[in-house]
Amino acid sequence: MESIIKRIEKEIADFAPTKGVEETGIVRATGDGIAEIDGLDNAVMTEMVLFDPSHDRTLEEALKDAAPLYGLILNLEEDGVRAAILGDATKVYEGMLVRRLGRLLSIPVSDSLIGRVVNPLGEPVDGKGPVAGTKFRPIEREAYGVIDRAPVNVPLHTGIKAIDAMVPIGRGQRELIIGDRGVGKTTIAIDTILNQKNEPKESRPICIYVAIGQKESKTAKIVAQLQEAGAMEYTIVVTAPASSPAAYQFLAPFAGAAIGEHFMEQGKDGLVIYDDLSKQAVAYRQLSLLLRRPPGREAYPGDIFYLHSRLLERAAKLNKELGGGSLTALPIIETQEGDVSAYIPTNVISITDGQIFLLTDLFNKGMRPAIDVGISVSRVGSSAQTKAMKKVSGKIKLELAQFRELEAFMQFSSDLDEGTKKQIDSGRRMTEVLKQGNGAPLAFEMQAAVIFAAVNGYFDSFPPEGASKAEKSLQDYLVREGGDVLKTIREKKEIGEETEKTLRGVLEKFVERSAK
């Protein structure tokens, strides 16, 4: 652990200017949030600079300004450098002094960030004052190598039955959430944060929600929802709203990853949600074109794949020698008309360890979450499931895939044989049971009990359209009458012979009571 911290400190120290020498430059031209600077001959890529309106003070004095204006060097050219202005670009003018800060772009991180809303530079924007005890950390860094990593085998429960049963997510995994606009991508991410309240406090992940290019009203609504549910006590929000400069939207995910790594390297678990990387890609394209970099496919720069790969590779499960911490990434990508073959979706699909694909048609039919079972996959699979969930969820994906095929076939056939009709009814029941409302994640043990009931025919006495209502009644009944069996599943994380016998007894009583 010591060596990692020293390595990061060295990364920052390596780029410090020569002691006692302060290198300055002059803004040659400015426009569209980009400044062309002369005189910074020794500047390095992604180094921070300070725009200073005064020529007759030291760097230390300039940094004491109430709101210092920073820049980020992104182009190194023969006759100067180009930098993105991190803030109000109207305050930068030709002839303005620019000072090297001697460090790569870094943000302040500490445990005090928990419960706060910050911008991509780590500055609080929630009106609660400064963050205490911070230490600077570069937002860009090399991802951990294969030797430093451990297998992903500890589940990260989302509280959503369809995901935890069919496309399980492990701690240290990168699982893409993809779909058109307005089909519930953010809802899945927020429900996952809310569900961590159901996890034991000692193993609860620190959640980082990164809002990129979102309306400020939407982000404020999400923060209010998290506060109301008591989830802000383990959550950090990084926001780069649509009104912020393109440079902020490009940097926000990297800031979220740096904050997550701070906790991962303490041996804790972290969960970072990038909402969404489509908007980050557009912001990066905008910056790149303004920096006069050559455009490629769909006008994106050639390194757009590298942008997302170096970000998502930072999600990891560290080995025991490095503390055993983890950082799980849930990137979100927005598609146009369900086109997963577009440039950015295919890039991110190839980088991640699986995807949860949300279909507009299913959403419009009332299936919430609208997960397409056929395309959605987790490449970690059952390795990231508890024994209890593995036991009960084995048949679900196949059954639902067969049901979707039959449902499509059924449109062309009026008379069905008894076996097919029974299979279709069973599929409809399963679909209804897997429905789940917004902001209502289920604890793992409740999910296991409900899915056990569904796959073992305890909902067969209910009509398919009434299965969702019956499932909610079962949840209430299990809380009242099956508290002991739920506790056993939660503690042992498996359904042994004795537990199964007890659970079956509770379910049989529920069916009898419902029949009366």
The predicted pLDDT at position 3 comes to 57
pLDDT of residue 437 exceeding 80, the answer is yes
pLDDT (average), residues 158-173: 95
d(CA 309, CA 143): 10
Using alpha carbons, list the distances in angstroms from residue 303 to 65, 158, 162, 288, 513: 36, 33, 35, 10, 62
d(CA 450, CA 433): 8
The predicted pLDDT at position 334 comes to 97
d(CA 307, CA 45): 15
- Provide the β-strand partners of residue 118: 124, 238
Per-residue pLDDT tens over the stretch 324-356: 999 999 999 999 998 999 999 999 999 999 999
The predicted pLDDT at position 17 comes to 44
Per-residue pLDDT tens over the stretch 395-432: 787 888 778 777 777 766 566 677 777 888 888 899 99
Q: Are strands 97-104 and 106-109 parallel, antiparallel or unpaired?
A: unpaired
For helices 277-290 and 304-312, the axis angle rounded to 10 degrees is 130
The predicted pLDDT at position 262 comes to 96
Phi-psi region of 372 (alpha: psi -120 to 50; beta: other; left: phi over 0): beta
Indicate which residue of 149, 379, 428, 504 is catalytic.
379
Residue 279: HSE in the Cβ half-sphere, 13 Å Cα cutoff: 26
Q: Which of 27-41, 61-75, 278-292, 359-373 has the lowest mean pLDDT?
A: 61-75
- 3-state DSSP helix/strand/coil % of the chain, to nearest 5: 45, 20, 35
* Percentage of residues of the chain with pLDDT beyond 90: 74
Per-residue pLDDT tens over the stretch 42-92: 999 999 999 998 877 888 877 777 788 999 999 999 999 999 999 999 999
The predicted pLDDT at position 31 comes to 93
The predicted pLDDT at position 290 comes to 95
DSSP state of 484: H
The predicted pLDDT at position 55 comes to 79
Q: What is the pTM of this model?
A: 0.92
Do 248 and 119 touch, CB atoms closer than 8 A?
Answer: yes
Please, which pLDDT band fits residue 371 given cuts at 50, 70 and 90? very high
Per-residue pLDDT tens over the stretch 85-112: 999 999 999 999 999 998 899 999 999 9
pLDDT of residue 21 exceeding 50, the answer is no
The predicted pLDDT at position 12 comes to 53
Residues 6+ apart with CB under 8 A from 471: 432, 433, 450, 453, 454, 459
Instruction: Tell me if residue 379 is catalytic.
Output: yes
